[in-house]
């Protein structure tokens, strides 16, 4: 399996990259970012790219991909709707169109968030922008999956780039087992997210295409009920659609 990871320097992207490096089914990982990572691994190829609204110069590198795991994202705090839209919507759609241009069977996963509004009626700016992003990704001719996690516990050295989130995770991480027991539909980990993204490739485009934390955990659990290899068809029955 050949995959691309965008946003690998962030907390979620770090977890996804780690899952790809650990999974023997993933043979090649193309990491695209503004600055190179301090990651040296036989599977990893890194490309430094500045303009996330235009991936035309990378088109040759993007051919032959089976999946793109898009993990780039920012907090809406302190940003105008135009600024947030440029990063959240414009960058994401530009990447999706570029990676799908020569890869008709590509799987594209997008990390959205619990509370995302697909109707465009929410008073919360980030929820509307992410909802619009989801809707337009789902309209593209790719196997698109929207990940809507709630609380995410970082693991495998993953660290949020947002200071407020870092402190929150430091203060609450030790409570995760209790949080997960009390609210399993709203909690997950970076490891589960990474494994679940790899598992979506095996769905071959089958739905549901909007996955909450419980669906993410189900797909990301190792073992008989866990991630399937590409070409296998794990049964997503019971996965909520929103």
Given a cut of 70, whether residue 57 has pLDDT beyond it is yes
Average pLDDT over residues 100-105: 94
Give the model confidence (pLDDT) of 23-32 as tens digits.
999 999 999 9
Given a cut of 50, whether residue 241 has pLDDT beyond it is no
Confidence bin at 242 (pLDDT 50/70/90): very low
Confidence bin at 227 (pLDDT 50/70/90): very low
Tell me what pLDDT residue 238 has.
35
Paired tokens of 49: 């790219």
Confidence bin at 153 (pLDDT 50/70/90): confident
Average pLDDT of the chain, as a whole number = 86
Q: Is 204 left (phi over 0), alpha (psi -120 to 50) or beta?
A: left
- Other Cβ atoms closer than 10 A to 59: 12
Average pLDDT over residues 226-238: 42
Give the model confidence (pLDDT) of 106-151 as tens digits.
999 999 999 999 999 999 999 999 999 999 999 999 999 999 999 8
Given a cut of 80, whether residue 174 has pLDDT beyond it is no
Paired tokens of 143: 């196997």
Tell me what pLDDT residue 240 has.
34
Given a cut of 50, whether residue 221 has pLDDT beyond it is yes
Confidence bin at 21 (pLDDT 50/70/90): very high
Give the pairing of strands 107-111 and 67-70: parallel
Give the model confidence (pLDDT) of 72-87 as tens digits.
999 999 999 999 999 9
Average pLDDT over residues 177-182: 60
> d(Cα 199, Cα 23) in Å, to the nearest integer?
11
Among residues of the chain, what percentage have pLDDT more than 70? Answer: 79
Tell me what pLDDT residue 200 has.
97
Confidence bin at 162 (pLDDT 50/70/90): low
Report the candidate in 193, 232, 230 with the shortest Cα–Cα distance to residue 211.
193
Confidence bin at 207 (pLDDT 50/70/90): confident
Contact 29, 45 (CB under 8 A): yes
Paired tokens of 85: 């839209």
């Amino acid at each position: 399996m050949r995959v691309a990871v965008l946003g690998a320097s962030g907390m979620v992207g770090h977890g996804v990259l780690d899952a790809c490096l650990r999974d023997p089914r993933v043979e090649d990982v193309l990491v695209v970012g503004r600055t190179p990572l301090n990651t040296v691994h036989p599977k990893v190829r890194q490309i430094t790219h500045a303009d996330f609204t235009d991936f035309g110069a990378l088109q040759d590198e993007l051919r032959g991909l089976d999946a793109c795991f898009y993990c780039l994202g920012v907090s809406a705090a302190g940003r105008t709707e135009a600024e947030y839209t440029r990063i959240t919507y414009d960058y994401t759609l530009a990447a999706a169109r570029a990676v799908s241009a020569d890869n008709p069977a590509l799987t594209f996963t997008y990390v959205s968030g619990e509370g995302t509004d697909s109707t465009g009626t929410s008073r919360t700016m980030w929820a509307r922008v992410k909802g619009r992003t989801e809707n337009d990704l789902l309209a593209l001719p790719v196997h698109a999956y929207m990940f809507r996690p709630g609380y995410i516990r970082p693991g495998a050295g993953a660290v949020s780039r947002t200071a407020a989130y870092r402190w929150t995770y430091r203060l609450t991480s030790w409570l995760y087992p209790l949080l997960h027991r009390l609210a399993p539909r709203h909690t997950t980990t970076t490891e589960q997210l990474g494994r679940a993204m790899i598992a979506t490739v095996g769905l071959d485009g089958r739905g549901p295409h909007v996955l909450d934390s419980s669906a993410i955990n189900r797909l990301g659990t190792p073992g008989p009920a866990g991630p399937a290899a590409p070409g296998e068809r794990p049964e997503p029955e019971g996965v909520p659609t929103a």
